[in-house]
Homo-oligomer: A and B are copies of this chain.
Amino acid sequence: MAKQEIIIIRYGHREVRDYRVTGHCGLVSRAFGAKKMIVCGEKDESIVNTITGVNKTWGKGMDIEFTDSWKSAVTKLKKKGFTIAHLTMYGLPVQEVEEELSTKKKLAVIIGSQKVEREVYNEADFNVAVTAQPHSEIAALAVFLDRVQKGVELSMDFKGAKCQIIPQEKGKKVINLKDLK
């Protein structure tokens, strides 16, 4: 796992419409070392199945939870000592705050979906922009996690994996770790 304890808060997930985008956010969170994703919105079994399925094959990476209230989730995390970063194109450039954020032992990252209410900006300790251009919360999350963790997440091990990729110049090579035991 990552050296920092990282939790992702997915704000405003709407089932069906957001399934694929929240799915991508979940897979990125896991692959980039987050311990947990908290989804604010309707409980969505398809997202849970996506993450647990990937955990089973590629190793234990991340838990997923649902909540009705982003605010109570944030309040609880603050009490536990988490710094709250909210990703928004209106915030401070990531390249100016990444150094400070990389020193935080506990970091929670809010990513939006539908229009984010003003209170999120106020509750966040840091509002952070990955470019000041409109693009994708999935992309912003990945670049943010890569920069704050200084790339250590790119070569993490995932415990309990059934399969592991051996990097190749061309083609695919996957070893079945269960066969090796």
Contacts and interface: CB of A to CB of B under 8 A. Distances in A.
Q: Is the interface of A mostly helix, strand, loop or mixed?
A: mixed
A28 interface: yes
A135 B27 contact: yes
A48 interface: no
A139 B93 CA distance: 18
A140 B88 CA distance: 19
Contact of A167 (B30, B90, B146, B156): B90
Contacts of A118: 171
- Number of chain copies forming the complex: 2
A124 to B, nearest CB: 8
A155 interface: yes
A138 interface: yes
Given A21-B20, A131-B154, A134-B54, A167 B93 contact: yes
Given A21-B21, A92-B167, 10 more contacts: A27-B134, A27-B136, A95-B154, A121-B170, A121-B172, A122-B170, A132-B167, A136-B142, A138-B138, A142-B143
A107 interface: no
Contacts of A133: 27, 30-31, 54, 58, 61, 158
Contact of A127 (B134, B154, B170): B170
A72 interface: no
Given A138-B136, A142-B139, A129 B95 contact: no
